Structure 1
Amino acid sequence: MSAQREMKEKNHWHTPVTIIITVIGVIAIVALVTVAVLQNRPLSQKYKYGIVLDAGSSHTALYIYEWPAEKHNNTGRVEQTYSCKVIGPGISSYASDPSKAGESLSACMHEAEQRVPKKRHHETPLYLGATAGMRLLSMENNAASEKVFQAVNEALRKSPFSHEGARLLSGQEEGAFGWVTVNYLDDRLAQGLETTGALDLGGASTQISFVSDNYDGSESPSNSVTFRLYGNDYNLYTHSFLCYGKDQALRMALAHQTQSGPATISDPCFHPGFTAFRNYSALYDSPCVSDRKPQGAPTMFNQTGIGNFQQCQEVVKSVFNFTNCRYSKCSFNSVFQPLLQGPFGAFSAYYFVMNFLNLTDTSISLETVKEKLSSYCATPWNQITQQHPSIKVKYLAEYCFSGTYILTLLTEGYNFTSETYSDIKFIKKIKGSDAGWTLGYMLNLTNMIPAEAPDSPPLRYASYVSIVTVMTILIFIILLLSMRPLWHHFPKRPQIV
């Protein structure tokens, strides 16, 4: 017994101090790893929200966006989570009864209240931007325009969201924000990649926006917008053509054909066998054509379709002015445009029209596209209605004109050629979000895109935890090795003979 007691007294490994130090070291190491893992583990995501109403000329649409709430300066990726099309026409159509403009938004606003978590309602910004339809109304009757905006603002203030006001966007803003949306969704801005041009077509206006190495903004400053996004500078060319949306362009084409006030016209932009009676006053009640109304015209005229693509193109060309360019180069109507550069995304009515016509595949040649459109326009009207019984006659009848107008606008107006036509991609959504100006508008107003690239941790979460774990194991091994001098004091267990 005395020998065993002597061995234990000489065994420093079993001394209370050594045991305490070892236990504390192990606990400290385990605590270090545990804290590192728990502190840096991915948390359950919380989101913030934003709502934008696009009050266009033909209809209004509501979009809900969300982004991670924990991101520094709210720079988390923004995604569209829901969209709602307001029933009825655009708010500019309620000029004679403005209160209905506000009432028309109620159904989609109710949907928004259900989609955005209630606890986030008070902090969710709500924007309404009106475009070309309201621009035309403000030109025609500014007092009526203000009453419509007043009614819309009153309706939106009743919502639980943080209403930031309804306002009229300029054409330049509409084009620029559409460009921001397309490039943001495609991750081209954050990564500093070559940007994509934006082609937007609505009912009352059309916009073209792109970055060109040959354009510094000096030749036509009114068409220049400068952005600094994620540490990169972008000098953007953008122009909006009011009255050159597809609906107003159709009015101008019909006005060209009715200048003499005829009772009947043979329209090459409508299918053979199509016929409709149109009211002269209704046709010419837009500022885009009101100054052209023929004197002494009858009340109505009969429009008869003949479905001829080539003749339709000549009618469409009549709405453009290709003379008197005072710049080094122009698109049309004496508007400066630099040389086209890079890929382009064509959205809104560009997509919907060309998708209906099965012409969104720009890998096929421009000549083939024209041939297919020519064949479609020549198809008898009764055959068209049989093939598409669920589409409203008004919309169905206009696809021949709209397709011809789009091709003419792109090639004759914006100067796309047989070679560069393939640079256009017809798009509806990008990564689940609608292409259009609304997202770019909200990103700008909420400062969601920093001028400088946001700081980010030097290591990803997994790398960080791996390094901490390895270093902890090394420290533990070093601790054991540092106690090696004590090992020889631990005698071998005596053998019992």
Structure 2
Amino acid sequence: MSWTRKILLILGFLSALAVIALIAVAVTQNKPLPKNIKYGIVLDAGSSHTNLYVYEWPAEKENDTGVVQQVEVCKVEGPGISGYSHATEKAGPSLAQCLRQAEEAIPSKQHQETPVYLGATAGMRLLSLENKSAADKVLSSVEKTLRTAPFNFQGARIITGQEEGAYGWITINYLLGNFKQSGWTKLLHSLKSVSETSGALDLGGASTQITFVPDELSSESPENLLYFRLYGKDYRVYTHSFLCYGKDQALQQKLARDLQQFPFSRLYIQGEGDYQKCRRNIQKLFNKTNCPYSSCSFNGIYLPPLQGDFGAFSAFYFVMNFLNLTSEQSPIALDKVASVIESFCARPWHEVKTAYHQIKEKYLSEYCFSGAYILSLLENGYEFTEKNWQRIHFLGKIGSSDAGWTLGYMLNLTNMIPAEEPAVPPLSHGSYVGLMVLCSLVLVSVLLFAWLLFHKPKCLQKGIV
């Protein structure tokens, strides 16, 4: 074999090797990294119903904000677990269908490592006060069902009103990205003296919570102050939960007051549609006569001056959204809100039933009262005015996640799970670039040498001086 052919074979081999190396390194380096997704489950056992939420987050980003997202929600059929006080053994099995739905939403290989929590709120707080034994049996039934599920059961308990308010505040500020801000954003906030966080207004069936960071540092009523350190920053948070001031219990309170003067053996209640009369009666639920502090909400409870924006969620949102009063594009003035609710209450019942035939009558019949109650609570209870009303933002979801306390509850109990080592490419960026450059130089050198060999310039040919 001639030396020219040998050189050709060697050059061809080196060229092929360089091309294969380039392709192999590029494919290996740039293939999609394996997703390391973690999951968590929280059941919100409210007074009227229970919701199951499934959350997911990238394991390597657990200590960052805005990475946890809700991927599944399931409403449990039937009443809240406190509604099983006379058949406690049925409380747990009522959750089975939603647990099966969670099993389908989470890869089976991750079931065993997925934590599941149940937090019971004001309905169970009331039941525990009225019948401790029944409340314990309900929780025992729930725990038994959750332990049989293929998940990592982490507990079922009644959370306090303070916890409910605090976790709701953590949820909305986490989802809004308020806990982690760039240097410029922090500087802007400090220059404007604006609160970096949003307050939280939560309304359930049996209780309501108000939580925010007050502008003034006061030592009044320390039992209503909580301290958090989140993402390297300290927060001093005011929170209070009013038991029996959720929309359902407030209605019960109002009816009880109305009926005290009437002896009866059978009760039939018919609404009058008189909004102004309803507002006057509701305002009697808020005792504003005695305030032992510099400022109060109602019933002698300390309330510092309202500060910043507020996110109002749960029943605040559901009721106001039904009444088309949740627009963020053009916030609706307080007097307009009152006018819309008054007009709705004045509509004949048969007309309302026809217009909203797809809604259960039980819920439909309560929207007038609930709308009037929400205005009374915010305006008369917490003293929002025409001036700061538009700082209330009615929130159903933030991104893909429901506004509520469950996400904050999970973030707290998982302690932001220490981040695992992220999946990384096989080569560092520098090594990858260096190897690609080397392979490219080898290929170019081989091609140049081959060209020179077969297209030798005249100056290199023999006999030319």
Post-superposition Cα deviations, 1:134-166, rounded to whole Å, max 9, x if no partner, equal 000000000110011011111111111111110
Aligned partner of 1:178 among 168, 177, 198: 168
User: What is the aligned counterpart of 2:276 among 305, 310, 329?
Assistant: 310
Tell me, which stretches of 5 or more residues in structure 1 are unaligned?
A: 6-13, 263-296, 482-489
Shift of 1:74: 8.9
Shift of 1:495: 5.9
Find 1:53's aligned residue among 16, 24, 43: 43
Partner of 2:412: 444
Aligned to 2:108: 118
TM-score by length of 2: 0.83
Check the 8 A contact 1:37/1:465 in 2, yes or no: no
Cα distance between partner residues in 2 of 1:493 and 1:64: 77
Alignment root-mean-square deviation, CA? 3.5
The C-alpha deviation readout for 1:202-241, integer Å capped at 9, x for no partner, is 000001111122135x212111111111111111111111
Residue type matched to 1:79 in 2? Q
Distance in 2, Cα, partners of 1:199 & 1:72: 27
Shift of the 33–301 alpha-carbon distance from structure 1 to 2, 3 Å rule, reads: same
1:247 matched to 2:248: yes
8 Å CA contact 1:52–1:64 kept in 2: the answer is yes
Does structure 2 conserve the Cα–Cα contact (< 8 Å) formed by 1:33 and 1:472? Answer: no
- For residue 469 of structure 1, the aligned residue among 417, 428, 433 is 433
Q: What is the deviation of 1:383?
A: 1.0
1:351 maps to 2:317:
yes
* Partner-residue secondary structure (3-state), 1:105: helix
| Separation of aligned partners in 1, 2:75 and 2:345 | 30
Measure, in 1, the Cα distance between the counterparts of 2:280 and 2:349.
21
**1:203 alignment counterpart:** 205
Shift of 1:181: 0.7
2:90 matched to which residue of 1? 100
Q: Which amino acid aligns with 1:398?
A: E
Rounded Cα–Cα distance in structure 2 between residues aligned with 1:158 and 1:232? 40
Partner amino acid, structure 2, of 1:229: L
What is the distance in 1 between the residues matched to 2:90 and 2:123?
A: 16
The 1:380/1:156 distance shift into structure 2, 3 A limit, reads same
Task: State whether residues 103 and 111 of structure 2, in contact with CA within 8 Å, keep that contact through their aligned partners in structure 1.
Answer: yes
Structure 1 residues 410, 30: CA separation in 2 closer, same or farther (over 3 Å shift)? farther
Task: Rate the CA distance shift 1:52–1:355 in 2: closer, same or farther, 3 A.
Answer: same
Find the counterpart in structure 1 of residue 448 from structure 2. Answer: none
* Mapped contact 1:229–1:449 kept (Cα < 8 A): no
Percent of aligned positions that are identical: 55
Instruction: Give the one of 336, 348, 353 matched to 2:302.
Output: 336
Offset of residue 364 of structure 1: 1.9
Match of 1:387 among 329, 334, 355: 355
In structure 2, what is the equivalent of residue 285 of structure 1? none
State the distance in 2 between where 1:32 and 1:323 align.
81
Give TM-score, length-normalised by structure 1: 0.78
Greater relative contact order (CA < 8 Å, ≥ 6 in sequence): 2
List gaps (5 residues or longer) in structure 2: 186-195, 446-456
- After the TM superposition, which residues 206-221 of structure 1 pair with which residues of structure 2 at under 5 Å, given as runs? 206-215=208-217, 218-221=219-222
Asked if 1:376 corresponds to 2:382, the answer is: no
C-alpha displacement at 1:120, in angstroms? 0.5
Q: For the structure 1 residues 378 and 76, does the alpha-carbon distance in structure 2 shift closer, same or farther, using more than 3 Å as the test?
A: closer
* Aligned residue in 1 for 2:377: 409
1:422-448 CA-partner distances (Å, limit 9, x unpaired): 011111111111111111100111112
- Residue 292 of structure 2 is matched in structure 1 by 326
- Greater radius of gyration (CA): 1
Report the Cα offset of residue 70 of structure 1.
3.9
Q: Is the 8 A contact 1:67 1:76 kept in 2?
A: no
